[in-house]
Amino acid sequence: MHKISFFLLVILMTYSCYAQKIEVCNSCAISSLKKAIMQAKDYDTIIVKKGIYKEHKILIDKPLTIIGKNYPLIDGEKKGEIITVVSNNVTVDGLFIINVGTSYTEDYAAIRIKRSKHFVIKNLVLEKLFFGIYIEKSSFGKIYHNKIVGDAIQEYNSGNGIQLWYSNHIEIEHNYIEHVRDGIYLEFSDDCLIKNNVSALNLRYGLHFMFSNNDVYQDNTFENNGAGVAVMFSKKIKMYNNTFKENWGTASYGMLLKEINDAEIIGNTFEENTIGINIEGSNRIVYKNNNFINNGWAIKVRGACYTNSFLENNFLYNSFDISYNSNINDNVFDRNYWSNYTGYDLNKDGIGDVPYRPVKLFSYIVNRTPETIILLRSLFIDIIDFSEKVSPVFTPDNLLDNNPVTKKMSW
């Protein structure tokens, strides 16, 4: 194994010794990126100087490094896809790319990586786009420090900021994405890391998983999207320390979980969303050390959710902490802090002496008749909630936190 690694290193060093730099500028011998790529040899570096280059259908079919100096503008003039990469070991760095063409059959992108490995896409600015960065059947790539600003108005005729399709082991870090359909979209893509990104003001989701497994997303911010994050038909997704904020609307939420299993949701903040987490058909999920602050509903469970654990979370000033549409429960709620808890702690051990029942009868009524939400602050609602707490009829009688914490927790 060591011999093979040494052999590959020698080959790479040999290429590096013979690699040359090619400059592109409007007054240079080579004045277009396409011509520079045609003349380049494997592992050459192409330096694109500041200027405007009206080009599209730029094909990178060999290992190359392309570096823009002072953000040269690549203008596709809305004629189609702008850069397509079909080779391993390609780096694209520091370009300003605008005016991607629109096609509902070809899904044109500012830059597409196709059946390639070990690529790096960094420091790009993409505007006036259909799709931004499209990764197709590729692996072991890095996408970081890019700014993607779309101008999407309607979902049906707009594309996504970063899209992965059948691509594995991709790292997406420190990107800013706004005004597209989905900020980041993964479909059939496994073992990816999505970290420290900001996805805001997008029409549909800030981040969207479909049929993708063993992915991690952490330390991201999802703000003011149609909905923050949707995780669908996936398993073993780890969701750590993200912020879901101000995802408001009649059908909006911080996070949607649909048909997912064996996930971890730890250390996240859900603040001022219509629904913090909307859950359907999701099992064996650990919810731990999360903050739910000032949401309409902190958690709405729509059904078919089994063997989930809600442990040591803070539920702070939500209109409804938990909504449940079934009278059967095998999920565990334990040692959470509930700001609506009115019990006492006589022995001062930090655990309330009376179990807390987080589901209100009024939330059950609102689920069936949304217009009744206007009665939220009325005395009548307090009375029916109290009666349900004393003698539960509509909500699962075992849906209790038997050890409610009496002080807000910090980690």
Question: Tens digits of per-residue pLDDT, 155-181?
Answer: 888 999 999 999 999 999 999 999 999
What's the pLDDT at 9?
A: 53
User: Which CA distances in Å does 33 have to 53, 400, 401?
Assistant: 8, 65, 63
* DSSP bridge pairs for 265: 239, 287
Can you say how many angstroms the Cα of residue 120 is from the centroid of all Cα atoms in its chain? 20
Is the torsion defined by CA of 87, 91, 95, 97 positive or negative?
Answer: positive
Instruction: Decide the pairing of beta strands 286-288 and 264-266.
Output: parallel
At 152, list the tokens. Answer: 């999407």
Q: Which amino acid is at 83?
A: I
What's the pLDDT at 396?
A: 74
What's the pLDDT at 43?
A: 97
What's the pLDDT at 383?
A: 65
What's the pLDDT at 342?
A: 87
Enclosing H/E stretch for 38:
helix 33-39
At 274, list the tokens. Answer: 């219509």
- How many other C-beta atoms are found inside a 10 Å radius of the C-beta of residue 21? 11
Rounded distance, CA 133 to CA 148, Å?
Answer: 9
Question: What values do phi and psi take at 159, rounded to 5?
Answer: -110, -175
Of residues 113, 108, 155, the one with CA closest to residue 131:
108
Rounded distance, CA 204 to CA 201, Å?
Answer: 9
Question: What values do phi and psi take at 357, rounded to 5?
Answer: -105, 105
Question: What values do phi and psi take at 346, rounded to 5?
Answer: -70, -35
What's the pLDDT at 323?
A: 87
Find out whether 359 and 289 touch, Cβ atoms under 8 Å: no
| Tokens 């900020």, located at residue | 183
At 47, list the tokens. Answer: 């330096």
At 255, list the tokens. Answer: 């996070």
What's the pLDDT at 256?
A: 96
* DSSP bridge pairs for 67: 47, 93
Instruction: Decide the pairing of beta strands 297-301 and 275-280.
Output: parallel
3-state secondary structure at position 323: strand
Rounded distance, CA 199 to CA 205, Å?
Answer: 9
Of residues 241, 276, 278, the one with CA closest to residue 257:
278
Question: Which parts of the chain sit beneath pLDDT 70?
Answer: 1-18, 361-366, 368, 370-395
Can you say how many angstroms the Cα of residue 352 is from the centroid of all Cα atoms in its chain? 36
What's the pLDDT at 362?
A: 66
The answer to whether the predicted template modeling score (pTM) of the entire model surpasses 0.85 is: yes
What's the pLDDT at 273?
A: 94
Can you say how many angstroms the Cα of residue 346 is from the centroid of all Cα atoms in its chain? 44
User: Which CA distances in Å does 279 have to 39, 121, 272, 283, 324?
Assistant: 55, 35, 18, 10, 10
What's the pLDDT at 8?
A: 52
Rounded distance, CA 88 to CA 114, Å?
Answer: 9
Of residues 112, 165, 150, 101, the one with CA closest to residue 134:
112
